[in-house]
Amino acid sequence: MYRIQTLNAISSVIYDELDDQYQVSKEETHPDAYLIRSANLHDQELPEGLLAIGRAGAGTNNIPVDACTEKGIVVFNTPGANANAVKELVIASLFLASRRVIEGIEWTKTLKGQGDEIGKLVEKGKNQFVGPEVKGKRLGVIGLGAIGVMVANAAHAIGMEVLGYDPFISIDAAWHLSRAVKHESSLEALLANSDYITIHVPLNAKTKDLINAENLARANQGIRILNFARGGIINEEDLVKALEEKQVGRYITDFPSEALIGLPNVICIPHLGASTPESEDNCARMAAAQVRDYLENGNIRNS
C-alpha cells in the first residue's frame, strides 16, 4: 500500500492513475509522496519517509528543491500539461494590453441609471477608449519552453512579428523549437525591438530580476509587458518606476502584489493562467502517473 497526501486542490482524475494500492488523503499519514499544486512547502517540514513530490504545474518555486535533493526526495513537475491554458490567456491578454476594453467596461458601469441617455454616452466611450491592433506589431517572447513556443506560434498566426530569446538555450536550438520566431541573441536586443513582451521562463536564481531598471531603460518606449511566469522575474520597484515614467505602457500580470494593485496601466489577474478544468486534469493526471511510476518502478520521467 502506498500513501499519498494531497496538499491542495488536485483534480480527482488522479484516481484514474492510482488504483487500490494507493491510499490518498488530505491528512498527514506518513506519506510516501505528496501531490501538490501551488501550496507553499518552504515553511513546512518535509516528513520522514517522503520519497517523492508531484507538482501539478510547471513551476517548482513553491517547493524547497535543494532540501528535497539533500534528503533524496524526487521532485516532479508537469511541463507542457497546462501550456494550452496559459497560451490562451496570454493571447487574450495581448488584446487586453492593446484595446482599452477593461477601462471601457469599468466606465460603462458608471452609465447605470442614465436611462435613454446611455446610447449617446456610449458614443463618447467609443472615442475615449481607442487602442491599437496587434497585427503587424512585434512580440518578444522570453523563454522558449512549452508555453513560450505555443504563444509564439499563436501570436504569429494572428499576424504578429515574433521575436524570441531564451536565457537557457542557444539560438540554433531555439530555431528548431519554433520557425515562427526570429531569434534575438540578447535580452537587451529583444526589449529594444519589441512592442510587447511576454515572459515564459521559470523563476530561479538566474532569472530573478531578469528584467530590471537597466534593461527596461533600453526597451522600446511604451512597451507592453505580460507576465504569466512569476512575479520575481521582473524587479517590481524598477517596474513601478518605469510605469510611472511611461517607459512601460502597460503591465498585465498573473501575480498581483500590494505595489501593483490599483496602478493605472496595470491589469492584475489572480493567477488564472492554468485555471481551466482541462489543464487542471492534465497536470493532476501527469503528476499522479509520474509519482506512481517512481514509487512502483523507480522511474524518473518528465512527461
So which residues are the catalytic ones?
230, 258, 271
Q: How far is the CB of 164 from ligand MLT (least distance, A)?
A: 20
For ligand MLT, which residue of 24, 36, 58, 174 counts as binding (CB under 6 A)?
58
Kindly state the number of chain residues that form the binding site for ligand MLT, as judged by CB under 6 A.
8
Whichever of 151 and 274 has its CB closer to ligand MLT, that residue is 274
Binders in 25-54 for ligand MLT, by CB under 6 A: 37-38
Helix residue ranges per DSSP H, 8-64? 14-17
Whichever of 59 and 231 has its CB closer to ligand MLT, that residue is 59
With a CB cutoff of 8 Å and minimum separation 6, the contacts of 26 are 5, 6
For ligand MLT, which residue of 3, 39, 59, 125 counts as binding (CB under 6 A)?
59
Q: Which residue is nearest to ligand MLT (CB)?
A: 57
Tell me, letter by letter, the H, E, C secondary structure of 82-138: CHHHHHHHHHHHHHHHHCCHHHHHHHHHCCCCCHHHHHHHHHHHHHHCCCCCCCCCE
57 binds ligand MLT (CB under 6 A): yes
Whichever of 99 and 271 has its CB closer to ligand MLT, that residue is 271
Count the Cβ atoms, other than its own, within 10 Å of residue 83: 23
CA 187 and chain centroid, separation: 19
Q: How far is the CB of 37 from ligand MLT (least distance, A)?
A: 5
Residue 3 identity: R
Whichever of 136 and 277 has its CB closer to ligand MLT, that residue is 277
Q: Which segment (16-24, 55-63, 115-123, 243-251) binds ligand MLT by CB under 6 A?
A: 55-63
Q: Are 224 and 97 in contact (CB under 8 A)?
A: yes
Q: How far is the CB of 169 from ligand MLT (least distance, A)?
A: 19
204 binds ligand MLT (CB under 6 A): no
Binders in 76-95 for ligand MLT, by CB under 6 A: 82
CA distances from 175 to 162, 179, 237 (A): 12, 6, 34
Nearest to 82 by CA among 188, 246, 200: 200
Q: Are 164 and 148 in contact (CB under 8 A)?
A: yes
- Rounded to an integer, what distance in angstroms lies between the CA atom of residue 248 and that of residue 236? 12
Whichever of 83 and 219 has its CB closer to ligand MLT, that residue is 83
Binders in 239-298 for ligand MLT, by CB under 6 A: 271, 274
98 binds ligand MLT (CB under 6 A): no
* Residues of the shown chain interacting with ligand MLT in the complex, contacts defined by CB under 6 A: 37-38, 57-59, 82, 271, 274
